[in-house]
Every structure is written in structure tokens, then in C-alpha cells.
Amino acid sequence: MRKKIGDLGEKLNFHTVHSLRDFLQKGELRAETIDFIAFGWSVVKLIETKKRKGCLGNFKAVMYRLQDYFKSNSASVTEITSKMLAKYEDHLRTPRIILRPNKYNILTPKMTQGVTDGGLHNHMRDLRTIFKDAIKFYNDKEKGIEIIKHYPFENYKIVDFNCQ
């Protein structure tokens, strides 16, 4: 088991306790066991370490809003589908109360308005970027490894907006 864990390398960081257990018991990584929210937060941490502050806030917003939508700190990559994206778009357009950490890292309720077409476009663009990163990380076409087999943005069109 230690050898299997060691062979995971940095991919170990993207496993939950349950997905690691499944991997050790069944010997393979399946898309259902990949925690997309954990993966997304690892992308945020990578952006922080590279000091790319221009997009950091946007990517954090994507991850917080996904947690709001799923009402959880975890969601399988297989839950991100084109139908889910359409429902998620409706969720983002709806005014609601959200919990966000304040400067003391205490969750504080805030009222938020629904996003505009421009905000939705940017949000879904960044979510698509994180999804593509997950595909690049877990799949290896040259070796014939395709763990994440679906691409929800193929059947979901990101809203266009005019910035006139």
C-alpha cells in the first residue's frame, strides 16, 4: 500500500480519504472518486504560489460559488455536467445570502446580487479553465489513460456579452 501511495506522487494531494481508500482497494483511479472542488482549490493555491494575483480572486470566487451550489466542500468531477452547468447558471443569476470568510477568517453572511452576463461569462470561462486543468492532470492520451471521459462545456454554451 505504501508503494501504491508513493506511486501517486503529487496526485495524492487530490484524493479524499474515500477516493484514496477506493484506489488502494481497487487499484485504479475512477472519475467518480476525483473531488473537483479539492482539485479547484489546489489550482487556487498554485496561482497563489505563482503570485498571479490578477486571476486569483476570480478563481477563488468560482470555488466558493461551487461550494455554495453543491452545499458541500466536495463534489465529484462526474457531477459537473452540461445540465448541471445550466442549473448552476440559474443559481448564479439569483440574489442570495452567502457565507464568506472575513479578514479574520470567520464565515460571515453577505447578500449578493445575481451575476450579470459579463460576470457569468467570466465565471464560466474560469470554471472551464479549471475543468480543462483537471483533464490535463488526470488524463494522458499518449499512454491511453482517460479517467475523465466527459467534457460538459461541449454541450454548454457560455453566455456571450457585449461590453459596449
For residue range 18-47, what is the model confidence (pLDDT) as tens digits? 777 877 876 677 888 899 999 999 999 999
AA identity, residue 18 = H
Is 61 a domain residue?
A: yes
Is 159 a domain residue?
A: no
For 140, counting Cβ atoms within 10 Å of its Cβ (0-12 exposed, 13-18 middle, 19+ buried), the class is exposed
Residue 110, pLDDT above cutoff 60: yes
Residue 129, pLDDT above cutoff 80: yes
What is the dihedral angle through the alpha carbons of 156, 14, 129, 113, rounded to the nearest 10 degrees? 70
Q: Indicate the pTM of the whole model.
A: 0.82
Rounded Cα gap, residues 119 and 10, in angstroms: 33
- % of the chain exceeding 70 in pLDDT: 96
Residue 18 is predicted with a pLDDT of 74
Is 164 a domain residue?
A: no
Cα separations in angstroms, 53 against 59, 66, 118: 10, 20, 20
Is 128 a domain residue?
A: yes
Tell me which DSSP letter residue 98 carries. E
Is 76 a domain residue?
A: yes
Residue 27 is predicted with a pLDDT of 66
Residue 60, pLDDT above cutoff 80: yes
Is 103 a domain residue?
A: yes
What average pLDDT does this structure show over 43-68? 91
Is 163 a domain residue?
A: no
Q: Which residue has the higher pLDDT, 118 or 9?
A: 118
Question: Based on the structure, what is the number of domains in the chain?
Answer: 1
* Average pLDDT value for the chain: 89
What average pLDDT does this structure show over 145-149? 90
Cα–Cα nearest to 88, from 13, 161, 21, 159: 159
What are the strands, taking DSSP E only, across 75-137? 96-101, 107-112
Residue 163, pLDDT above cutoff 70: no
Is 148 a domain residue?
A: yes
Residue 82 is predicted with a pLDDT of 97
Give the residue numbers spanning the domain of 23.
Answer: 2-154
For 97, counting Cβ atoms within 10 Å of its Cβ (0-12 exposed, 13-18 middle, 19+ buried), the class is exposed
Rounded Cα gap, residues 54 and 153, in angstroms: 24
Tell me which DSSP letter residue 111 carries. E
